Amino acid sequence: MSAKKTSPAPTRSAKKAVAPAPATSTEAALPPDAPEQAAPAQEEALPLFSELGLSEPIQRAIDEMGYRHPTPIQAQAIPYVLMGRDVLGVAQTGTGKTASFTLPMLEILQGSRARARMPRSLILEPTRELALQVAENFVNYGKHLKLTHALLIGGESMAEQKEVLNRGVDVLIATPGRLIDLFERGGLLLTQTKLLVIDEADRMLDMGFIPDIEKIVGMLSPLRQTLFFSATMAPEIRRLADAFLSNPKEITVSRPSSVASTIETGLAIVDGADKRRALRKLLREADMQNAIVFCNRKRDVDVLCKSLIKHGFSAGALHGDLPQSVRFSTLEAFKSGALQILVCSDIAARGIDIGGLSHVFNFDLPFHAEDYVHRIGRTGRAGRTGHAYSLATPDEEGLAQAIEKLTGKPIPRIEVKGVDNLEWSDEPRPAGGRRKSRAESGSRRKSNAAPPAPAPASAAPVEEAAPAPKPSRSRSAPAMGSGRRDQGLLPAAPDHAITGFGDDIPAFMQLPRREKPVVPADE
């Protein structure tokens, strides 16, 4: 049952009367065209927002946004939150999780007012972008209420945030670092915070935020209501939930598109040096509205984005090293359609909700298979078919296998015209071999024919035991402080010796020269 966002809303059921709230029966409830008992069976089964006990100003905001049916997590969680219960929600983004806590929070908070420096509720998010997204949610659903909220995230002026706090806020949305910082400076009191939301707990765990979270929870009154959300329920997460929640109502909703059949996937194996060309080809051939392209590294995000722009694409870059102002405006530009392509790191792999995304491209296969699911889950939403295409180099069979094992589905191979389409190479690569393979891009064997020499395949898994690679590495001078840590970046730079610098070759010159997006006019 796809109680997704909402049906366009011409089909109005006759259930409107059930609304328990003082609702002024939300005008426009029954348009003249009311299709009588049309489609009762289906419609009947779906719950309505108006049945959830939200008051008129909130219900009106929901109506105005065109939403009619709550998603499963919303339908299940909202009544319990309103009841004052703790909630443990196992759900990931795309399930409507955010509104499942923002809506009842608005309901609970309306009516009384905040006092200076004492926020009445707190929402913790792992990334700044998610915090912004939640704030947006409050703006949308709270527009007929007089509640205030503040965003407490890094990368932006603290003075301004402090000032808002001083005036008193009902809802504080924060990333952990800045919150603790401000708390320790005395700009904030959490004793009156009676409602806590911990969002994306599993990701907080991945990012090492748990100690911070524990610290923050310790600053709150034990007499609080806590809502805890996580996409998974690993033992570690369970332990946290036990520590933070009391007698929670547990709600689990199935992921919206674990490997949704609504996503068409494909994988091309190409040489690292051909990746950009292959991607451009895919981008041009796709019937694409907008797309996210994921890279594993921030620097590759920059490089790829520049290259795409140079080739005439409308692209912007998003990763954690960019200034917050840029992150924000780029994301907005992409959401608004001003940018067609968003090139990003895994900062955007989870959580970020961008409606109507037609394509996801993995410029690199993610290191962790779960991230593949998160990444491609950005597309194929709301019942539309999404497309997710990935590029891999021949030595990444392991990553692909891990993904296929996790999802239980093979990723169909695709061929990209105009580049060498390779096979998995079964020669086990010695550690460190990868860098090299990039630099010497010139002499690629094409494998349109059979895969290369039938290396002893799995026969020799452990080759040259005890590689003893880095015992002698410039151990000598730990170098004081900064700067020098590039010293041993590359052992001997065999491929492309650089002469004339003695021992002081600047590190950047030792890096394989893959950049120079001077890519000659391809096709």
CA 175 to chain centre: 15
Cβ-based nearer residue to DNA, 123 or 179: 179
Q: CB-based contacts of 93: which residues, under 8 Å, 6+ apart?
A: 200, 231, 350, 351, 352, 353, 377
Cβ-based nearer residue to DNA, 58 or 216: 216
Separation in Å, CA 365 to CA 167, 361, 376, 399: 47, 10, 11, 7
Min dist. Cβ of residue 251 to DNA (A):
27
Cβ-based nearer residue to DNA, 44 or 321: 321
From 155, 187, 266, 452, residue interacting with DNA (rule: CB under 7 A): 155
Residue 261: DSSP 8-state: T
Residue 176 as a binder of DNA (CB under 7 A): the answer is yes
Residue 184 as a binder of DNA (CB under 7 A): the answer is yes
Residue 321 as a binder of DNA (CB under 7 A): the answer is yes
Residue 367 as a binder of DNA (CB under 7 A): the answer is yes
CB atoms within 10 A of CB 476: 8
Report, in angstroms and rounded to the nearest whole number, the Rg of the chain calculated over CA atoms. Answer: 26
**Residue type for position 341:** I
CA 240 to chain centre: 22
From 47, 53, 168, 177, residue interacting with DNA (rule: CB under 7 A): 177
Cβ-based nearer residue to DNA, 58 or 169: 169
From 26, 59, 93, 175, residue interacting with DNA (rule: CB under 7 A): 175
**In which residue are the tokens 């524990």 written?**
214
Min dist. Cβ of residue 123 to DNA (A):
13
The helix/strand/coil state of 40 is helix
Residue 178 as a binder of DNA (CB under 7 A): the answer is yes
Min dist. Cβ of residue 363 to DNA (A):
12
Cβ-based nearer residue to DNA, 186 or 312: 186
What are the b/e assignments for 253-286, b being 16+ CB within 10 Å? bebbbebbebbbbbbbbbbbbbbbbbbbbbbeee
From 180, 196, 253, 411, residue interacting with DNA (rule: CB under 7 A): 180
From 127, 148, 230, 437, residue interacting with DNA (rule: CB under 7 A): 127
**Size (the chain), residues:** 523
Min dist. Cβ of residue 309 to DNA (A):
19
Residue 296 as a binder of DNA (CB under 7 A): the answer is yes
| 424 backbone dihedrals φ, ψ, rounded to 5° | -65, 140
Residue 517 as a binder of DNA (CB under 7 A): the answer is no
Residue 128 as a binder of DNA (CB under 7 A): the answer is yes
Residue 207 as a binder of DNA (CB under 7 A): the answer is yes
Q: Could you say which residues in the range 337-356 bind DNA, by CB under 7 A?
A: 345-347
The helix/strand/coil state of 134 is helix
Residue 229 as a binder of DNA (CB under 7 A): the answer is no
Give the DSSP letter string of 403-448.
Answer: HHHHHSSPPPB---TTS-------SPPPTTHHHHHHHTTTSPPP-S
**Is the alpha carbon torsion for 176, 180, 186, 189 positive or negative?**
positive
Residue 426 as a binder of DNA (CB under 7 A): the answer is no
Cβ-based nearer residue to DNA, 319 or 359: 319
* 8 A C-beta contact, residue 327 and residue 129: yes
Total residues interacting with DNA, rule: CB under 7 A: 33
Q: Could you tell me where the DSSP H helices lie in 220-343?
A: 235-244, 275-285, 298-310, 324-336
54-62, 206-214, 229-237, 413-421 -> range binding DNA (CB under 7 A):
206-214
Min dist. Cβ of residue 93 to DNA (A):
15
Residue 319 as a binder of DNA (CB under 7 A): the answer is yes
Residue 419 as a binder of DNA (CB under 7 A): the answer is no
Residue 161 as a binder of DNA (CB under 7 A): the answer is no
Min dist. Cβ of residue 330 to DNA (A):
12
Residue 69 as a binder of DNA (CB under 7 A): the answer is no
Residue 306 as a binder of DNA (CB under 7 A): the answer is no
**Which residue, among 126, 114, 125, has the nearest Cα to 165 in the 3D structure?**
114
Contact residues: DNA, CB under 7 A = 126-129, 153-155, 158, 175-181, 184, 206-209, 296-300, 319-321, 345-347, 367-368
